[in-house]
Amino acid sequence: MKINHLIKLALVLFAFSGFVACSSSAIRQIQSDYEAGNLTLEQRDAAIAAQREVERARSRASMVNNRNVLGENRL
């Protein structure tokens, strides 16, 4: 691999790790709100499901972006 590709790969991995850190803290916040009595069990479950769907969408978008950055999506 060229050095340029290695740098791009490192940047993509760094950006992806930020998404993971944000999402886990969001789920922790939802759980904290539930434990504090601010959410019902159903609201907590719905909020966690929605947050996980956001995570999956970000992951898919990141994978598509990674392919484009690394030049793997050539026609």
Question: Domain-by-domain residue ranges, the chain?
Answer: 3-68
What is the tens place of the pLDDT at every residue in 11-47? Answer: 655 655 554 555 678 999 999 999 999 999 999 999 9
Residue for token pair 């789920």? 27
Q: How far is CA 40 from the centre of its chain?
A: 25
* pTM for the full predicted model: 0.56
pLDDT band at 67 (very low <50, low <70, confident <90, very high): confident
The whole-angstrom separation of Cα 45 and Cα 50 is 9
